[in-house]
Structure 1
Amino acid sequence: MSGSLWLKPPKEGDTLPAIPRPRREETPKNPEAGKAPDPGPAPDPLDELAERLDGFVAAAVHPDEVAALLESDGMTDEHIRLTYGRADSFALAEDLYARVERRHPAPQAPPAGPRLGGLADCLLRGLVFALPGLAYVLAAPLLVGEHGRFGLPGGTVPLLAGAVTGWVWNQALSHRAYTWLGLGDRPAAARALLIGAPPGALAGTGVALAVAAPGETPAAVFAAGQALYLAAATALLVLGRERALLGALVPLAGAVPAFRWDLPDPLRAGLLLASLTATTVLAALALRPGLRRAAAGRGGPPRATSLPYGLFGLGSGLLVLHAGVGSTPVGGAGAVVALTLSMGPAEWLLHRFRGETLTRLRTLTTAREFRRAATGTLVLCLRSYLTVLTALALAVTLLWPGAPRPALPHLLALLLVGTALWLGLLLQAFGAVLGAATVCLLAAAAQTTLPAAGPAATGGAAAVLAVLTCVLLVRPTAHRS
């Protein structure tokens, strides 16, 4: 939008447009002689600007949108005062907003089947998020350690440390790659993944080996494979290869009989290695465009902008891990399974919130109406996600061998974790990731320091994130691209 707001296109070396002033003419001796007809009042430059920006201002739902456009086009307060007689861009935007009648284009009808197609894709992603959990079922007899630490079974500490390291690294790496994809440069995104994924795998392996105690070597070796899988799966998911990743995870289906029967150790190790090898090979094939010389991109997004996304991955990952430490399926491993499976519907509901608010942005005429509609959509989407999470938690308890009925306190704690995660993901999707990361990290730190404060810390985090969401995402300007 360069120069679109100026009354005349500026030329090289031009300064601000000069304000026409009336000429000083000598008074004729005969007042009637040479008297020209009265030309009438001079045209108001504000009317001309309103006419020029009519389409944009008519579709705006708040004067701040108009002010943002004026500032982005380079209009300074000095120019606004001299040309339009207003104090600043906000005062000028309010006048323009008041002069132009609201006219919103009718929303386009969605093509047939996109909702179901989008839901199917999100469910597929939820499935590929959850299936790697079967690897732990297969590997459980191979990872038994002699002595556990912190009240956890032997081998758990290196596994958790490696997993958290991978979540942090790959969350930041995904943001950088998605930024390249948003710029339309897919080869540069592949190159970013090609360069960033191996160090992430090495970091996860190094952390697991560093924290492994004597007797936990098998767990550290498994953590190394876990780190490699996380790096390869991240590349496939970012590049939209969910179906290929699902095919690579098929060997893990061999864990289903392991719930009731004991499988030979060589068979367990073979299934794990087959899935890991297939995932790594598929990721290497998908990243081949990043090897081209032209895939380096031009500058690229600053690396520091990806750091808050890594911190959010750390905070949310720790919340999930704390939810997985419990004595019942809903309060323990079943909580992690339910949360992981729910990520597919959660992603679809994020897209639905975005789509619904954009539709309201085109059809509503006041900021107050939009705030009310956006709040209603937010409540509906969050309620739908919690309903899905509850159903998944109950299904896990029914399918889990020998699982007792879920206790209400554990179920409520799980729903608080789900609320915090979904609201944090929503804020992250709209760029408010630093606030979401801070809240999740503080809640996770409180739970780590004082485990008994877990539900209170998670509930506080959910409440703070709900307030942040209502403050930030019910504003019309938050939804303008």
Structure 2
Amino acid sequence: MSGSLWLKEESAGLDTLPALPRPRPSWAAADPIDELTTRLEEVIAAAVHPDEIAAILESDGMTDDHIRLTYGREDSFALAEDLYARVERRFTEPEGPPSDLWHTGLGGCLLRGLVFALPGLAYVLGAPLLTGSPSAPGLPAGTVPLLAGAVTGWVWNQALSHRAHSWLGLGDRRAAARTLLRGAPAGALLGALVAFAAAAGPGEWGGAVFAAGQAVYLGAATVLLVLGRERALLAALAPLVAGTPVAFWLGLPDPARAALLGTSLALAVALAGRELLPPAPAPPGDAPGRAGPRLAASVPYGLFGLGTGGLVLYAAIGDVIALGAGAGASVAGPTAVALTLSMGPAEWLLYRFRRESLAGLRATTSARAFRRATAGTLALCLTVYLAVLLALAVTGTLLWPGAPDIGGIRLASLLLIGTVLWAALLLQSFGAALSAAVVCGAATAAQTVALVSGAGDPRLVGAGVAGAAALVLALLGGVLLGRATAHRP
């Protein structure tokens, strides 16, 4: 009994002895964690959260089994926390002038926004060509085939654009051009077939023909935009831009309207063909069977085009309902034009946010400080975008004869849709295209069901759906953008 008590006292004494540092014998092997800390010191010092270090470890191929055997830690996250605690926070500036991966000129973004919006003038110029009884539910004649062809083109050309950009990112311009050469005509044919299939009666054949030309234009414009030929596309739109004011204020006969539309279309096709034909010769050593981007990787971007395009489409339908579906009405309206024009400033602000988030990584030394800085930058960029969108909408309302007042439900709907579009584009820029596509697609589907079933005022439904989508995207953005690892180049 006394022996047991003595053993317990002796054990308790051993447990309470102070932990004294013991010098490592000269014959002992170096601590592998010390070696890893030395090797990754600059990376560890620049991290604002252990998860950044864990991502680096996993990218180096360190499995949990290897970490347990080599470093005695449970997994990459436990090892990262140990490394993070060993090194003081600092950010070592690179030698030479700093590289700005997210710098872009405002002029180029505004030019792209302009060429996105100017094709909408075709609906104004071609409205008298769309004769017939109004489409259900109370929309101008030819609207159904026009919208069917447009939606098809948005889906196809967004996916095509992503695949071509993926080849360009790999440095293979020839493969990108080959992708566009095959994909653009196929998308134009598909859009035309869908438009003709959607024509429900003789009164909609004019809309189907117009939609076929629209499909061809979308293919040509995709080629020019992907290859960075925005100025060429702007030149192709010059006849349309010059003729629309004359037709709007003074009037033009239908053959002249058709000639202006056909001229811009022919110029866009010719300029796109000049970029793709003849094919560039293969560089020396180019392997025709090289591995390229996965086709499945472009699908979320096509769905993203469907969702965001649908939101703009229903904003335009709201204007059409407010303006009335009488003669001369078109599926273009001041709200849709403002949203489309705002895509130029939106793109510049996305670049601005990415630049400021990288600057935040350099300036902050804790995860909390980084999240606070990122939230402030995000709020500022979104506020600037909505202010620009509001200014464009007000200007368009003042210039558009008979446009409804920019206030009440129309203003709320505009700002909510703008928030959804910018937040979705932001998530897409961080690689979360599928999440953004699902949210925008669900919003578009909900509005489609409400419009077809006649459930409530489409403008009220649109505002409610956009508000719900904005809330979901805000939650997704908070989860994604709050992680420092998401902002690393």
TM-score by length of 1: 0.87
* 1:251 match: secondary structure: helix
> In the alignment, which of 168, 180, 183 is matched to residue 170 of structure 2?
183
Q: CA RMSD in A?
A: 2.3
Q: How does 1:9-408 map to 2 (within 5 A)?
A: 39=26, 42-106=29-93, 118-212=105-199, 213-253=201-241, 254-288=243-277, 290=279, 292-293=281-282, 298-326=290-318, 327-328=321-322, 333-408=333-408
Cα distance, 1:150 vs structure 2: 2.1
Distance 1:373 1:147 in 2: 52
Cα distance, 1:38 vs structure 2: 6.3
Distance 1:468 1:289 in 2: 45
Change (3 A) 1:339 1:109: farther
Distance 1:72 1:147 in 2: 59
Amino acid at match of 1:466: A
Cα distance, 1:158 vs structure 2: 0.5
Distance 1:93 1:413 in 2: 46
Q: Is the 8 A contact 1:248 1:278 kept in 2?
A: yes
* 2:342 match: secondary structure: helix
* 2:73 match: secondary structure: coil
Amino acid at match of 2:478: C
Distance 2:270 2:296 in 1: 30
Cα distance, 1:297 vs structure 2: 6.7
Distance 2:289 2:43 in 1: 33
Q: Percent identity, aligned pairs only?
A: 64
Q: Deviations over 1:176-208 (max 9, x none)?
A: 111111112111111111111111101100000
Q: Deviations over 1:273-317 (max 9, x none)?
A: 111111001111112375545685722111011111111111111
* 1:131 match: secondary structure: helix
Cα distance, 1:125 vs structure 2: 0.4
* 2:141 match: secondary structure: coil
User: More displaced, 74-83 or 129-138?
Assistant: 74-83
Distance 1:347 1:214 in 2: 41
Distance 2:124 2:412 in 1: 26
Distance 2:422 2:356 in 1: 17
Q: Deviations over 1:123-149 (max 9, x none)?
A: 000100111111111111111223422
Distance 1:475 1:151 in 2: 48
Q: Deviations over 1:357-402 (max 9, x none)?
A: 1111122211111111111111111111110110000000111124
Cα distance, 1:442 vs structure 2: 1.2
In structure 2, the partner of 1:457 is 465
In structure 2, the partner of 1:425 is 425
Amino acid at match of 1:242: E
Amino acid at match of 2:465: A
Distance 2:190 2:204 in 1: 18
Cα distance, 1:106 vs structure 2: 4.0
Change (3 A) 1:87 1:148: closer
Change (3 A) 1:44 1:139: same
Q: Is the 8 A contact 2:55 2:485 kept in 1?
A: no
Cα distance, 1:109 vs structure 2: 7.1
Distance 2:25 2:400 in 1: 91
Distance 2:98 2:392 in 1: 30
Amino acid at match of 1:152: L
In structure 2, the partner of 1:414 is 414
Change (3 A) 1:394 1:237: same
Amino acid at match of 2:110: L
Distance 2:300 2:30 in 1: 51
Amino acid at match of 2:357: T
* 1:169 match: secondary structure: helix
TM-score by length of 2: 0.86
Amino acid at match of 1:477: T
Cα distance, 1:332 vs structure 2: 7.3
**Higher RCO structure, 1 or 2 (CA under 8 Å, sep 6+):** 2
Q: Is the 8 A contact 1:105 1:363 kept in 2?
A: no
Indicate yes or no: 2:484 matched with 1:476: yes
Distance 2:445 2:66 in 1: 51
Distance 1:329 1:468 in 2: 36
Distance 1:90 1:404 in 2: 57
How many correspondences in the alignment? 443
Distance 1:195 1:292 in 2: 17
Distance 1:270 1:446 in 2: 39
Q: Is the 8 A contact 2:409 2:463 kept in 1?
A: no
Distance 2:83 2:48 in 1: 12
Cα distance, 1:406 vs structure 2: 2.0
Unaligned runs of 5+ in 1: 1-36
Distance 1:328 1:346 in 2: 27
Amino acid at match of 1:391: A
Amino acid at match of 1:455: A
Amino acid at match of 1:266: P
Amino acid at match of 2:344: G
Amino acid at match of 2:486: A
Change (3 A) 1:50 1:196: same
